Structure formats: structure tokens, C-alpha cells
Amino acid sequence: MKAYVLKAHIRQQGCELHRIGRSRNWQLKANFEQLQTIIAFIEISDEASWLWLAKLLRNEYKHLTHNELVKIASTLEDITVSALIARSDCTIAQARAIIDELEGLD
């Protein structure tokens, strides 16, 4: 029953969640904001059996493209390097390059 609650919450966020064929594997299609919402839901629900999914979704932050990072940074007000790193888990070099680009210093 716990899995149904998590799947329902994921679908409520507007994400696509479906099985791959007849296997036990699932595919999730979501944007950055939806991933953050799902991770926050998992962490505040305090369900130990879901924590592996939060860890897996956090690892997806490492695969963000430059354009996705720029989009994330442009939505934040008064963005700093540390705030961008905390929000997107990018590297310091990526954060500096993105902030320079947004400020027109590149």
C-alpha cells in the first residue's frame, strides 16, 4: 500500500510514471522542480523504504545540462554560487560560469 501512495503523489506532480515492458523496472519522466518536490515528499514522509528513490533522484542532478542549470539559476532571485550549488548539486566551476553568463560577464 505504501507504494501506491508514492506513485499517486508522483503522478499528482504531473510526472509520467510507467513500467518498462513487463519487468519490475519503472521509468519516470519529470523536470527539475518535480524531482525536487518528489524528493521533499519522500524525506518528510519518513518512510525508510522510499529513501533509496530519493538518493537515486538526487544523483540525477549530476546529469543536468548547461541550459537546464541556466534555467534553474534564472528562476532564483539574488543567486549566489553557494545557493546554486545547494539547489542543483552542480560544481563550483559550473555555478560560476552560469552566474557570469546571467550577469553578462561571459
Domain of residue 88 covers: 64-103
Overall average pLDDT of the 29-57 stretch:
87
The one-letter amino acid at 36 = Q
Residues 73, 25 share a domain: no
Indicate whether 62 pLDDT > 80: no
75 vs 98: CA distance, rounded Å: 13
Total domains in the chain come to 2
Residues 31, 17 share a domain: yes
- Across the chain, the runs of DSSP E, i.e. the strands, are 16-19, 26-29
* Residue 38: exposure state from Cβ atoms within 10 A (0-12, 13-18, ≥19): buried
Residues 74, 55 share a domain: no
| Confidence at 35, pLDDT banded by 50, 70, 90 | confident
pTM equals 0.67
Indicate whether 105 pLDDT > 70: no
The DSSP letter of residue 106 is -
Residues 72, 55 share a domain: no
